[in-house]
Amino acid sequence: MERAAIVRSLSCTSMACGRYLLSRSCRTSLSSSILFPSTPKPKLSLSPSPTVRHSLQRRRWRFAPSPYLSSRKHFSLLCPRAVASPSIPSSPSSSPSPEFPHVKDKVALELGFEKVSEEFIPECKSKAVLFRHRKTGAEVMSVSNHDENKVFGIVFRTPPKDSTGIPHILEHSVLCGSRKYPLKEPFVELLKGSLHTFLNAFTYPDRTCYPVASTNTKDFYNLVDVYLDAVFFPRCVEDFQTFQQEGWHFELNDPSEDITYKGVVFNEMKGVYSQPDNILGRISQQALYPDTTYGVDSGGDPQVIPKLTFEEFKEFHRKYYHPSNSRIWFYGDDDPNERLRILGEYLDMFDASSAPNESKIEPQKLFSKPVRIIEKYPASEGADLKKQHMVTLNWLLSDKPLDLETELALGFLDHLLLGTPASPLRKILLESGLGDAIVGGGVEDELLQPQFSIGLKGVSEQDIHKVEELVMTTLKKLANEGFDTDAVEASMNTIEFSLRENNTGSFPRGLSLMLRSIGKWIYDMNPFEPLKYEKPLQDLKSRLAKEGSKAVFSPLIEKFILNNPHRVTVEMQPDPEKAAHDEATEKEILQKVKAGMTKEDLEELSQATHDLRLKQETPDPPEALKTVPSLSLQDIPKEPIYVPIEVGDINGVKVLQHDLFTNDVFYTELVFDMSSLKQELLPLVPLFCQSLLEMGTKDLTFVQLNQLIGRKTGGISVYPFTSSVRGKDDPCSHMIVRGKAMAGRAEDLYDLINTIIQDVQFEDQQRFKQFVSQSRARMENRLRGSGHGIAAARMDAKLNTAGWMSEKMGGLSYLEFLRTLEERVDQDWVNISSSLEEIRKSVFSKQGCLINITADGKNLANTEKAVGKFVDLLPTRSPITTTNWSATLPLTNEAIVIPTQVNYVGKAANIYDSGYKLSGSAYVISKYISNTWLWDRVRVSGGAYGGFCDFDTHSGVFSFLSYRDPNLLKTLDVYDGTGDFLRELEMDNDTLTKAIIGTIGDVDSYQLPDAKGYSSMLRYLLGITEEERQRRREEILATSLKDFKEFVDAMEAVKDKGVTVAVASPEDVDAANKERFNFFQVKKAL
Ligand SMILES: [Zn+2]
């Protein structure tokens, strides 16, 4: 498995985190991001990113989105310390509006639409037209521009009345076959065989979105058609078995056994309800809006889901999945006439309905006095519960939606309060020592009414009130005294930079805009307004200049927070008995159900269980599969995507330059060799990285340093990168300093980086201690939410040195290290501090440094002097002595035990060791195994939220992983059956072609310029040449059934020699160890 991806998956703490590994883009990056351009997300990797806050996880994704996504804010704070300089390509309104193809009124009318309004939107260089479908009233935003990454989305308002999870189950179910595409899961066929750059669906508390994206026009329209047919004519409303599979059902394999609950959403939500952060977010939301649709859980409460009937489910679809209740978005460089033509065909089949009235979201009336809620969450038995309480303060800010300028100002306030480690509210809370980590997402404006939430976790019971007081006094103080001028400037630049850079990572820009627009449009407000940030931004800037920041922000704090009685304080207490209690309650219900059944009922149920499984495991007939439109191999470019690279030398340091259009933004990576670092210092590396950015120098406090970064650059991050290198014993291990700025500020950027790596003082013991506790809390959270990442890292650590290193810096070993370090900081600070200094000395030097730059040609030339100056300032040292890395963990099967209701199960082996020789076909095969065998057995019939495999071509490690899995040994049996699956596999040409095209879709996944330059650098570091990329591509395109058959040996090697790691519940591990005598070595982790 590609190291960086593991590292990233381990470190992802963003709102999207939970399901990250399952995302398509992630699976891509796991297997092929290095070899091919895909989606490197080097975002702060292991170096903890304290600025990423846990939000309330409002959106429930079918798969997890990339962690880059943060479009929930009106400005996406993609880089926590991003900033702008005044030299930003300014006010886009000055540019003349370019001509885009448009729809003549007459043509629109013929197609059944009338134009409501149109505007050129300079902020996104797009012409946007709002149409209304005359017959049904469906609204369509048709956005035209030069972006080849086309986006379509259809959104329905779907407010639930209870917590049965109807919207969520429906979101899953409509993608399980439709009128034109009568197969089990067209969605999966699209995952397998299209060039999509985005394919997903998500459920909000009040709406359900179905977006797709592709750069290939033919592919794009194919995707649109499948989605439209799915939402309007799904088979699930006639097919009870789909409802059972995706929602819930009783499972009874044999009348003599116990009945259990099964269902994809049921299990997914069980996982969600095992995570304290999620529980806290849900309770806070429900308590803030007790009288509205937000007072229930659209995702579904596992205790309530089984109350849902098929009739209610069908009725919900009939009522809300109607054109009159929909909003449709098109974006990109395709022909807007074609968009209306495709839509007209579907929409014309309906008449207007009254759904828009029934789906209206009613606002919550404001409370007259604050409310306090105390709830329990499941904690481990026997764990130290003293410091495990959580508390948040939540405010509903207004009884109606706010205007954009106020919203922007609130967003600003949010950034000032919490946006960076130097932000006062964040800083004071963390420095108070009252808790381990921040909880609550700050200002949230994705729902009808905005809210503000803040609090701490890892708090002891007697300190709960102190946290509340601290929040209130800090806010009062800030309202009275105002903010530091430098802080305001830094926040302003940060926000402006990210608005203009508009770097959505691997997330399509058009989708980010769609979500922004929908955020208002869904409440019948103007869909154009949220796209136009320029005027409110300028207004706010001039108000700040004229009146000063205190006049702008103090009234906001007073009105919306301090004097606002609609405040809900939520306290969460750890309860070691809760998990067992919930489990027992469920068992009891199921026993009652069984007791109430006759012998015939039981036989019938057992028959139904078998029927469902049979249906799930029976492949779709070839005729059905053929209905899903696909491209042909002729549509696929024969060459890999080319990224320009110039390898040069500046003052003795190797420099890679990528001449790409970046709209005047300058991106750079400074790569330092980490191979001379002493082995025992490895676990300190993530904290070292954080210290560099958050400790301050002799002359600058860390607050000043942060503000400086904020004012002058687009952000700086530091993190380790390790990977195996194919054909070599030694791993590749580096520390990467990554930064961006407007090109005119490149020199400032390098100066600041130089300050960070050379002048930062490792002296602040108290801050360091905070870093340790925060990291420990984050790792514990990761263990619960991303156990598959922990399991994957652990297996890798058993199989190769790079994996071992990575695990030391981000896996279970790291967590263990942090736990002892927390105590050591008090006793042994001098030694720790000098170890940090030692890391600096062994890593940062001119020898072994490589510089990577991505910018436009003229900016590349203009900045060479600044690069030269930076290089000259780097310390030099005698020839590098390489440490001999050769460690691995013992090859035992391990169970990492945590309090959970669902497991994460992994098995892996190095298939190069058993003689496998790399061919591009491996990408096709492993993707195919994930999307067919594992999807069907681990997810569909096994009831796990996900199951997939991954092949790290650098190390040769092939691994299987499951996610939120109710099973343990049974899943291992599925993995072991992969060889037989391939052996018996029959495949027609169409299926094979789809598999190949889907793989190319991964390989060619869409990248913004900074990501292209970054991928190219990684290829350079890992020794992957253009010739090799071309050869792999040819091998992918030429993949045949024979290759699948030849892969059997590799799968047998994993079966026979593979090592297993599971992150699982104590009960399941006990049971497994009884069934297979002491199969697992048990490690209690939480
Ligand atoms: Zn789901």
Rounding to the nearest 10 degrees, give the CA dihedral for residues 855, 860, 862, 867.
100
Phi-psi region of 815 (alpha: psi -120 to 50; beta: other; left: phi over 0): alpha
In this structure, what token pair is assigned to residue 918?
């790399």
| The pLDDT of residue 827 is above 60 | yes
Q: How many CB atoms lie within 10 A of CB 821?
A: 22
Do 701 and 694 contact (CB within 8 A), yes or no?
A: no
| Active-site residue, from 2, 123, 171, 501 | 171
Tell me whether residue 481 is one of the annotated catalytic residues.
no
| The pLDDT of residue 616 is above 50 | yes
Q: Residue 880 has what pLDDT?
A: 59
Q: How many CB atoms lie within 10 A of CB 636?
A: 18
Identity of residue 255: P
Question: What is the β-pairing status of strands 1059-1064 and 894-897?
Answer: parallel
Tell me whether residue 246 is one of the annotated catalytic residues.
yes
For range 437-463, the mean pLDDT: 93
β-sheet bridge partners, residue 574? 377
What whole-number distance in Å separates Cα of residue 383 and Cα of residue 899?
10
Name 565's Cβ contacts closer than 8 Å, sequence gap at least 6. Answer: 366, 367, 368, 369, 370
What whole-number distance in Å separates Cα of residue 572 and Cα of residue 366?
24
Do 458 and 388 contact (CB within 8 A), yes or no?
A: yes
User: Is domain 371-506+526-575 in CATH 3.30.70.890, yes or no?
Assistant: no
Which H or E run includes 776? helix 765-785
Least confident of 788-802, 951-965, 995-1009: 995-1009
Calculate how far, in angstroms, residue 51's C-alpha sits from the geometric centre of ligand 1: 27
Calculate how far, in angstroms, residue 60's C-alpha sits from the geometric centre of ligand 1: 6
Tokens 């992150």 found at: 1063
| The pLDDT of residue 58 is above 90 | no
Calculate how far, in angstroms, residue 826's C-alpha sits from the geometric centre of ligand 1: 44
In this structure, what token pair is assigned to residue 448?
């009808």
Q: What is the pLDDT of residues 725-753, one digit of tens each?
A: 999 988 999 999 999 999 999 999 999 99
Do 735 and 718 contact (CB within 8 A), yes or no?
A: yes
| Active-site residue, from 246, 251, 571, 780 | 246
| The pLDDT of residue 24 is above 80 | no
User: Is domain 894-1084 in CATH 3.40.449.10, yes or no?
Assistant: no
Question: What is the β-pairing status of strands 567-575 and 371-378?
Answer: parallel
Identity of residue 588: E
Backbone angles phi, psi at 584, to 5 degrees: -65, -40
| The pLDDT of residue 45 is above 50 | no
Structure confidence at residue 761 as a pLDDT band (50, 70, 90): very high
Q: What is the CA radius of gyration of the chain?
A: 28
Share of residues in the chain with pLDDT > 70 (%): 90
* Assigned CATH class of 105-361+576-619: alpha beta
| Residues, CB within 5 angstroms of ligand 1 (ion) | 268
Taking CA atoms, 91 is separated from 76, 78, 123, 856, 894, in Å, by: 18, 21, 8, 20, 58
What whole-number distance in Å separates Cα of residue 12 and Cα of residue 49?
9
- Give residue limits of the domains in the chain: 105-361+576-619, 371-506+526-575, 641-873, 894-1084
Taking CA atoms, 880 is separated from 565, 651, 805, in Å, by: 63, 19, 19
* Alpha-helix residue ranges (DSSP H) falling in 80-234: 105-110, 166-173, 186-193, 217-232
For range 349-378, the mean pLDDT: 96
Question: What is the β-pairing status of strands 1081-1084 and 150-157?
Answer: unpaired
Rounded to two decimals, the pTM is 0.86
At how many degrees (to 10) do helices 276-288 and 765-785 cross?
90
| The pLDDT of residue 100 is above 90 | no
Calculate how far, in angstroms, residue 348's C-alpha sits from the geometric centre of ligand 1: 30
In this structure, what token pair is assigned to residue 954?
């650098």
> What percent of the chain is helix, strand and coil (3-state, nearest 5)?
50, 15, 35
How many secondary structure helices (H) and strands (E) does the chain include?
A: 40, 28
Least confident of 58-72, 131-145, 285-299: 58-72
| The pLDDT of residue 923 is above 90 | yes
DSSP 58-92: --EESSPPPTT--TTSSS---STT----TTSS--G
> Does residue 878 or residue 1024 have the better pLDDT?
1024
Q: Is the dihedral of CA 988, 993, 994, 1000 positive or negative?
A: positive
Structure confidence at residue 27 as a pLDDT band (50, 70, 90): very low
| The pLDDT of residue 46 is above 70 | no
Least confident of 367-376, 596-605, 621-630, 837-846: 621-630
For range 1003-1009, the mean pLDDT: 90
Do 666 and 741 contact (CB within 8 A), yes or no?
A: yes
Do 204 and 59 contact (CB within 8 A), yes or no?
A: yes
For range 463-486, the mean pLDDT: 96
Structure confidence at residue 883 as a pLDDT band (50, 70, 90): low
In this structure, what token pair is assigned to residue 934?
């594992």
Calculate how far, in angstroms, residue 266's C-alpha sits from the geometric centre of ligand 1: 9
What whole-number distance in Å separates Cα of residue 585 and Cα of residue 589?
6
In this structure, what token pair is assigned to residue 939?
């997810």
What whole-number distance in Å separates Cα of residue 112 and Cα of residue 106?
10
> Does residue 900 or residue 648 have the better pLDDT?
648
Q: Residue 516 has what pLDDT?
A: 92
| The pLDDT of residue 84 is above 90 | no
Calculate how far, in angstroms, residue 446's C-alpha sits from the geometric centre of ligand 1: 19
Q: What is the pLDDT of residues 381-427, one digit of tens each?
A: 766 788 899 999 999 999 988 988 899 999 999 999 999 989 999 99
Which H or E run includes 862? helix 857-862
Q: What is the pLDDT of residues 780-813, one digit of tens each?
A: 989 988 999 999 999 999 999 999 999 999 999 9
Instruction: Single out the residue of 673, 692, 677, 709 nearest to residue 838, CA to CA.
Output: 677
Q: What is the Cα 785 distance to its own chain's centre?
A: 12
Query: What is the pLDDT of the chain when averaged over all its residues?
Result: 88
894-1084: same fold as 105-361+576-619?
yes
For range 993-1015, the mean pLDDT: 92
DSSP 597-637: --HHHHHHHHHHHHHHHHHHHSPPPHHHHHHS----GGGS-
| The pLDDT of residue 711 is above 80 | yes
| The pLDDT of residue 8 is above 70 | no
Calculate how far, in angstroms, residue 268's C-alpha sits from the geometric centre of ligand 1: 6
Q: Residue 881 has what pLDDT?
A: 67
Q: Residue 428 has what pLDDT?
A: 96
| The pLDDT of residue 86 is above 90 | no
What whole-number distance in Å separates Cα of residue 363 and Cα of residue 948?
42
Q: Residue 383 has what pLDDT?
A: 66
Identity of residue 37: P
Structure confidence at residue 154 as a pLDDT band (50, 70, 90): very high
For range 574-578, the mean pLDDT: 92
Structure confidence at residue 619 as a pLDDT band (50, 70, 90): confident
Calculate how far, in angstroms, residue 199's C-alpha sits from the geometric centre of ligand 1: 14
CATH assignment of 641-873, given 3.40.718.10, 2.60.40.10, 3.90.190.20, 3.30.830.10? Answer: 3.30.830.10
Q: Residue 60 has what pLDDT?
A: 58
Do 285 and 441 contact (CB within 8 A), yes or no?
A: no
For range 643-664, the mean pLDDT: 95
Q: How many residues in the chain?
A: 1086
Collapsing DSSP to helix, strand or coil, 319 comes out as: helix
